[in-house]
């Protein structure tokens, strides 16, 4: 049993954390550039980027109402033209204790809505004609309440700040990337920062984009909770979201730059890139959260006309974001290592936080069917970052952590713990199974695949798929873990040859610290890489052989 106040607090805390992370990425990047070109010139570069990006974002925030209305082709509607809409907006404004915003209508058959404006006094709430047609009064009220929640939470300002920060990161990152590449080509080496600058410069804008999207998702969750605080009617918002999900029309005047404003993501989610940078949490998750607010237990009742498919049941966006954040922290930690004093201490903290985030990503990805596919990569990240941290801890600490990790992974494989196979959360599973059941009922029993022997075979295709992914990879990751942990232990005392080119190569794949191991260490290191390549090849082959894997789209077309 949850209440909306707790949900509001949770989403608010998450937003704070994400904003902090965004600034951390910026700081790390600026420091990395600083190591490379020196304090003054990096300061000038950053100041230029801040002025340029923050200036344009501030301008678009200041003019947000006019700009967004023009971009979405929304027209301000007079009270005489849309009396009910005006009434509903006024009702919600009273509930929110805000001045009544202006009301706009977008002539578009796709049901959707958005809010914008630089402060509550200049806010605009816009809905499409499709929304007005399809929603009853309570649902319209719920949608408007969600938009008013954005106004009350000042999300236009919040996302402008995020966009400005991400813009600065992109600018500095782009410049730093050219700088680092140019110096690698020229063979110059300044303060040894080049090897670290390249991966940081390449990763930072990517991480900033993901963090921005994650921030947008947390603001959506917050807006849902706040909307319920206004109307005290979670059922209406749930059924409105159900109707939005059931409708497959996509807003015509869409643009990714205003995507975060809409109540439902206006972009086509069949593109994986759009899903990764998704500005909205999966709609099934939002519906489930509202169902819990209503006091319902278990999975929410199915929405008419909407069968949640694979994609929205398990978009692994959050876990993937954590994984990238872990990588970004790792790179930041590496780049700060070139410094001393406070910066180095922060770098150490980043370094130690990296495996924690990787572990969070592992836990998170294991919960969604589509995320399970990313578990091997996550394990690898966990192992590498864990190995580096262990190395910093000294050889004794390293061996201890290594042993712990191996025991942990082995335990997972044997099925002694509670975590075999990676747990798919009950409601995600049931909705995905719902879709799969519909499919197998139409095409006969699903063919079993013979790959999994040591994992318990469950009665759903989905679970056996997850088990297959984990069981096979566990063996290999244990092998790699052993190599990764033994290699530095052996090589620690060996000669330290600083091959700049190796540093750049390994730095770019997040292994920079392993480069100083010298030629012998590198030779040993090549072993697991060869192993990984072999496994990937074999995996691709076996994937081709198994044609029974549910493709994400296959489950949608079958009538229930």
Partner 1 sequence: MELVLIAVTLVAVLLIGVALYNKLVRLKNAVAEGFAQIDVQLQRRNDLIPNLVETVKGYASHEREALEAVITARNQGVNATTTAEKISADNAITGALRQLFALAEAYPDLKASTNFLALQEELAATENKLAFARQRYNDQVRDLNTAIETIPTRFVAGIANATKAEYFETDEAARAVPQVRF
- Footprint of partner 1 (CB under 8 A): 83-84, 87-88, 90-92, 94-95, 97, 137, 141, 230-232
In DSSP terms, which residues pair with 127 in a beta bridge?
105, 113
In terms of Cα–Cα distance, which of 200, 164, 162, 152 is closest to 36? 200
CA distance 39 to 7: 43
- Cβ-count burial 440-459 (b if 16+ within 10 Å, e if not): beeeeebeebebbeebeeee
- Taking the complex as a whole, how short is the minimal distance between the CB of residue 137 and partner 1, in angstroms? 7
- Taking the complex as a whole, how short is the minimal distance between the CB of residue 93 and partner 1, in angstroms? 9
At which residue do the structure tokens 């704070």 appear?
16
Q: Dmax over Cα atoms in the chain, in whole Å? A: 82
Q: Are the C-beta atoms of residues 554 and 542 closer than 8 Å to each other? A: no
Share of the chain residues as helix, strand and coil, in percent rounded to the nearest 5:
70, 5, 25
Q: Are the C-beta atoms of residues 220 and 286 closer than 8 Å to each other? A: yes
Helix or strand holding residue 86 (H, E): helix 83-96
Q: What is the DSSP string of 395-451?
A: HHHHHHHHHHHHHHHHHHHHT-SS-SS-PPPHHHHHHHHHHHHHHHHHH-SPPP-S-
- Taking the complex as a whole, how short is the minimal distance between the CB of residue 223 and partner 1, in angstroms? 18
What would you report as the CA-atom Rg of the chain, rounded to the nearest whole angstrom?
Answer: 25
- Taking the complex as a whole, how short is the minimal distance between the CB of residue 146 and partner 1, in angstroms? 15
CA angle at 311 for the pair 509 and 465, rounded to the nearest 5°: 75
List the catalytic residue out of 147, 220, 461, 463: 147
CA distance 214 to 342: 29
- Taking the complex as a whole, how short is the minimal distance between the CB of residue 147 and partner 1, in angstroms? 16
Is 38 or 79 the residue whose CB approaches partner 1 more closely? 79
At which residue do the structure tokens 């997040």 appear?
510
Rounded to the nearest angstrom, the gap between the alpha carbon of residue 104 and the centroid of all alpha carbons in its chain is: 32
CA distance 314 to 432: 8
139 in catalytic set: no
Q: Are the C-beta atoms of residues 325 and 207 closer than 8 Å to each other? A: yes
First to last CA, the chain: 31
Q: How many CB atoms lie within 10 A of CB 329?
A: 28
- Each as own residue / partner, the long-range contacts of residues 417-423 (CB below 8 Å, 24 or more positions apart, any chain) are 419/366, 420/455, 420/456, 420/467, 420/470, 421/455, 421/456, 421/463, 421/466, 421/467, 421/470, 421/471, 422/365, 422/366, 422/367, 422/372, 422/375, 422/466, 422/470, 423/366, 423/367
Which residues are annotated as catalytic? Answer: 147
């Amino acid at each position: 049993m949850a209440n909306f106040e707790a949900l509001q607090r949770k989403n608010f805390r998450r937003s704070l954390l994400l904003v902090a992370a965004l600034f951390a990425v910026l700081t790390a990047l600026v420091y990395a550039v600083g190591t490379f070109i020196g304090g003054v010139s990096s300061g000038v570069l950053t100041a230029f980027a801040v002025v340029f990006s923050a200036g344009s974002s501030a301008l678009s925030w200041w003019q947000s109402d006019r700009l967004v209305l023009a971009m979405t082709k929304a027209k301000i509607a007079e009270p005489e033209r849309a009396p009910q809409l005006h009434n509903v907006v006024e009702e919600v404004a009273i509930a929110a204790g805000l001045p009544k915003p202006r009301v706009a209508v977008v002539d578009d058959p796709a049901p959707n809505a958005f809010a914008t404006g630089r402060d509550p006094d200049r806010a605009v709430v816009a809905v499409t004609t499709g929304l007005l047609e399809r929603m009853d009064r309570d649902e319209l009220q719920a949608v408007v309440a969600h938009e008013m929640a954005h106004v009350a939470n000042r999300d236009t300002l919040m996302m402008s700040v995020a966009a400005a920060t991400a813009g600065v990161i992109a600018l500095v990152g782009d410049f730093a990337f050219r700088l680092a590449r140019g110096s690698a080509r020229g063979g110059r080496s300044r303060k040894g920062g080049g090897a670290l600058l390249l991966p940081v410069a390449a990763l930072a804008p990517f991480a900033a984009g993901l963090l921005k999207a994650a921030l947008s998702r947390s603001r959506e969750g917050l807006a849902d909770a706040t909307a319920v605080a206004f109307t005290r009617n979670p059922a209406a918002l749930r059924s409105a979201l159900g109707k939005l999900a059931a409708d497959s029309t996509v807003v015509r005047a869409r643009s990714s730059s205003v995507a975060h404003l809409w109540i439902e993501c206006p972009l086509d989610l069949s593109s994986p890139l759009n899903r990764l940078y998704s500005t909205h949490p999966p709609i099934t998750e939002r519906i489930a959260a509202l169902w819990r607010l209503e006091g319902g237990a278990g999975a929410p009742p199915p929405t008419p006309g909407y069968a949640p498919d694979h994609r929205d049941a398990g978009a692994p966006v959050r876990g993937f974001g954590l994984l990238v954040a872990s990588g970004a922290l790792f790179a930041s930690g590496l780049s700060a290592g070139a410094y001393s004093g406070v910066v180095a201490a922060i770098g150490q903290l980043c370094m130690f936080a990296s495996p924690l985030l990787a572990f969070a990503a592992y836990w998170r990805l294991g919960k969604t069917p589509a995320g399970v596919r990313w578990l091997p990569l996550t394990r690898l990240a966990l192992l590498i970052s864990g190995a580096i941290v262990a190395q910093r801890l000294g050889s004794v600490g390293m061996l201890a952590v290594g042993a712990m990790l191996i025991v942990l992974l082995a335990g997972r494989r044997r099925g002694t713990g509670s975590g075999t196979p990676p747990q798919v959360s009950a409601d995600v599973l049931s909705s995905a199974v719902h879709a799969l059941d519909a499919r197998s009922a139409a095409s006969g029993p699903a063919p079993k695949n013979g790959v999994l022997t040591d994992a318990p075979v469950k009665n759903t295709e989905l679970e056996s798929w997850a088990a297959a992914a984990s069981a096979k990879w566990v063996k290999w990751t244990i092998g790699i873990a052993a190599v990764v942990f033994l290699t530095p232990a052996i090589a620690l005392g060996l000669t330290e040859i600083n091959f700049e080119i190796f540093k750049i190569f390994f730095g770019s794949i997040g292994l920079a610290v392993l480069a100083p191991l010298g030629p012998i260490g590198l030779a040993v290191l090549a072993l697991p890489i060869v192993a990984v390549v072999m496994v990937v090849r074999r995996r691709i082959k076996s994937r081709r052989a198994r044609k029974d894997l549910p493709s994400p789209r296959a489950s949608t077309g079958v009538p229930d």
